[in-house]
């Protein structure tokens, strides 16, 4: 308990320093810090939402993969009208099976055909590839904001620092008093924008790299599943030439 008062005093001192630096900051620096705060909130929102989205998609993919492996025919789950909303693998499966089902049905609407031609199979492949691309883009949406935060935030902070130092030296030149007491407040207030820029960029960089890694894993999983789905469709329904 003996260290608690000193910790409280240090925290109060740090808060006083931050308030003092904010008070001495120029209008331009305050505007840049406010913009960086908005960037930070947006970046954290994107990171948390994408983490939750990918976590949910991974669980649904695992559940769907078990069901897909256990089925006897490729259209079994499609005929059962199984719904797995938000599952990327299910979206690919649903698109492929709907195309296959449409080509197996006759004019009266019944599933009269037992086989499809190679040309029809190529159309199904393109439909599946299109959905794979859409699902990848859906998972990738929002990452551009993190990339902007990683690359842009440090430069915004540097701009505020350079601007603040320039204003400080201009004020000192006008006053004609180049003392440490005259320079320190302006320089410290200018440097805080660089700190703010780094506080935005560093978490965004780690979050962006983690999300990109997981996105690549999802993309590979989607491609592998699409190939497996097409292979099973060809085995069951492709007519021998």
Q: What is the dihedral of CA 109, 115, 116, 118, to 10 degrees?
A: 180
Q: Is pLDDT of 3 > 50?
A: no
Q: Using the predicted structure, report yes or no on whether residue 182 has a pLDDT greater than 60.
A: no
The neighbour count for residue 217, using CB atoms within 10 Å, is: 12
Closest among 34, 74, 86 to 232, alpha carbons compared: 74
32 token code pair: 């840049």
Q: How far apart are CA 67 and CA 57, in angstroms?
A: 15
Contacts of 151 (CB under 8 A, 6+ apart): 201
3-state helix, strand, coil in the chain (%, to 5): 85, 0, 15
Which pLDDT tens digit goes with each residue over 80-96? Answer: 877 777 889 999 999 99
Segment 119-132 mean pLDDT: 91
DSSP one-letter code for 71: -
Task: Summarize pLDDT for 186-206 with one digit per residue, the tens.
Answer: 677 778 888 889 999 999 999
CA–CA distance, 236 with 116 (Å, rounded to integer): 10
Which of 83, 120, 82 is closest to 100 using CA atoms? 120
Average pLDDT over residues 198-225: 92
Q: What is the pTM of this model?
A: 0.75
Mean pLDDT calculated for residue range 142-151: 89
CA distance 198 to 165: 18
């Amino acid at each position: 308990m003996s260290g608690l008062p000193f910790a409280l005093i240090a925290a109060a001192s740090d808060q006083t320093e931050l308030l003092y630096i904010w008070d001495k900051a120029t209008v331009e620096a305050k505007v840049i810090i406010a913009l960086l705060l908005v960037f930070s909130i947006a970046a954290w929102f994107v990171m948390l939402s994408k983490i939750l989205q990918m976590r949910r998609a991974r669980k649904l993919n695992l559940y769907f993969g078990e069901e897909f492996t256990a089925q006897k025919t490729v259209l079994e789950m499609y005929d059962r009208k199984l719904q797995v909303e938000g599952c990327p693998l299910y979206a690919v499966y649903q698109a492929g099976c709907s195309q296959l089902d449409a080509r197996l049905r006759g004019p009266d609407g019944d599933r009269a055909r037992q086989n499809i031609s190679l040309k029809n199979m190529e159309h199904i492949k393109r439909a599946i590839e299109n959905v794979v691309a859409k699902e990848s883009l859906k998972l990738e949406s929002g990452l551009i904001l993190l990339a902007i935060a990683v690359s842009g935030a440090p430069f915004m902070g540097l701009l505020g620092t350079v601007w603040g130092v320039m204003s400080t030296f201009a004020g000192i030149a006008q006053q004609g008093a180049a003392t440490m007491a005259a320079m320190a407040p302006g320089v410290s207030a200018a440097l805080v924008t660089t700190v703010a820029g780094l506080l935005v960029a560093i978490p965004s960089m780690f979050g962006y790299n983690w999300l990109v890694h997981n996105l690549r894993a999802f993309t590979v999983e989607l491609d592998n599943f699409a190939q497996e789905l097409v292979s099973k469709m060809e085995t069951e329904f492709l007519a021998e030439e």
